[in-house]
Amino acid sequence: MSLDVVILAAGQGTRMRSALPKVLHPVAGRPMLGHVLNTARALSPRSIQVVIGHGAEQVRAQLAADDLNFVLQVEQLGTGHAVAQALPHLAADTVLILYGDVPLIRRETLEQLLTLVSPTQIGLLTVELADPTGYGRIIRNGAGEVEAIVEQKDASEAQRAIREGNTGILAVPGARLADWLGRLSNSNAQGEYYLTDVIAMAVADGLRVQTAHAGDETEVLGANDRIQLAQLERYYQQRAARELMARGVTLLDPARFDLRGEVEVGRDVLIDINVVLEGRVVIEDGVSIGPNCVIRDSVLRRGVQVKANSVLEGAELGEGADCGPFARLRPGAKLGARAHVGNFVELKNAELGEGAKAGHLAYLGDAQIGARTNIGAGTITCNYDGANKHRTVMGEDVFIGSNSSLVAPVTLGAGATTGAGSIITGDVPAGALAVGRAKQRNIEGWKRPVKQPKG
């Protein structure tokens, strides 16, 4: 059975008090609409129609893709009117309507809903609410069958007491949708064309309304203001934390962990508090991550230790390697097996071979560093001449004395040594000692400056 998905994303989001369209506000580092799109794609639809209005060009610019068709709703006249704008592009057996500001909806829930649709049935997603204020109420007859949905502003006192709420998520036979939308009326308290009125029309036309139920209320919550957006963020992170712990990860405090992308994890991983994972992160068995670390688009091989307050971006750490505390590994940083990067060391586009060490206070950029090489404190590779980057190459077992400056391009052969405080501007042969510093002078009888008394 073919499927078209319509995502309503035209709202302004006035209560966000923002120049950014509501559906572009992020949850877990991704626009709310981006979450909905990913879930829709997981259903393998024939097409995805995104109905946009306020901030349409911003939405297009940020989320345009070959598998999306954007449909403009010039006037926002209600959910029924919004779906009607997509009608010329719908040709599938089933049409599923989703919302761009409901980012936590699960694929499994939607798959369950879609099983309910046939030429004689529509599928409606409902949720049981402790407080249904603001939700349309599901009206059932004495046999428990759905007859209609009544919006909050149009509901009687008895209807407002109903706790089963409409999520707005609906799956219908595509062949019937145009007829129902064409019969919608705006004779209601809001003066809008409600998509929910389709339910009563379907019943009147002899179709059954079958309901699926959201696993929990958080799955179908939307965000209309910053407070609700923050709540969605916490719900998302709680879900992510539970899923990781179920896969064998120890989170020392699940309430202080943030996933803003995708993570692949092995067994016996330990993550301390206030760790943020962004982009795509791979964490293999036995990895330990200390508190207050940010790790983005990186790979941590078996047994890696990332110590407190380190920031990794586009880095790869080999088996048994460690970094930190207060290390910064920028894109292109690679640590070989059992390599060590200590506190206040920064790497960019630099590779440390197996067992190489940079213990503290160093900058290594555009460098190839051999196995077991030791980098002294205060060492920098001078890789940028103001216009171009240049590489520093060190062989195996090199020893760099503290406070050395290696002016690239430069090569140090295996076993070479530099004296502390040296400025190295030429290649150093294997096994040689390079000393590149001015000869010390002692000036006898030198008088220190004296502070002048104030007027």
pLDDT at 171 over 90: yes
| The pLDDT of residue 35 | 97
- pLDDT band with cut points at 50, 70 and 90 for residue 189: confident
pTM: 0.90
| The pLDDT of residue 382 | 97
- Of 109, 96, 98, which Cα lies nearest the Cα of 215? 109
* Contact criterion met (CB below 8 Å) for 83 and 196: no
Give 238-257 pLDDT, tens digit per residue: 999 999 999 999 999 999 99
Give 332-360 pLDDT, tens digit per residue: 999 999 999 999 999 999 999 999 999 99
Give 396-438 pLDDT, tens digit per residue: 999 999 999 999 999 999 999 999 999 999 999 999 999 999 8
| The pLDDT of residue 3 | 98
| The pLDDT of residue 207 | 94
Cα–Cα distances (Å) from 305 to 283, 286, 342, 386, 407, in that order, read: 11, 9, 11, 35, 31
| The pLDDT of residue 130 | 87
- Of 279, 278, 277, 272, which Cα lies nearest the Cα of 255? 272
| The pLDDT of residue 76 | 87
Catalytic residue among 35, 81, 360, 390: 360
pLDDT at 394 over 90: yes
- pLDDT band with cut points at 50, 70 and 90 for residue 206: very high
In whole angstroms, what is the distance from residue 5 CA to residue 32 CA? 16
Structure tokens at 210: 């079958």
Catalytic-residue membership of 360: yes
Give 39-77 pLDDT, tens digit per residue: 999 999 999 999 999 999 999 999 999 999 999 999 889
Q: What is the mean pLDDT of the chain?
A: 95
Pick from 157-171, 296-310, 404-418: least confident = 157-171
Phi, psi of 416, rounded to the nearest 5 degrees? -70, 155
| The pLDDT of residue 196 | 86
In whole angstroms, what is the distance from residue 151 CA to residue 135 CA? 7
Domains by residue range for the chain, with CATH = 3-220 (3.90.550.10), 250-434 (2.160.10.10)
Give 130-161 pLDDT, tens digit per residue: 888 888 899 999 889 888 888 888 899 899 99
Q: Taking the C-alpha atoms of 142, 143, 149 and 154 in order, what is their torsion angle to the nearest 10 degrees?
A: 0
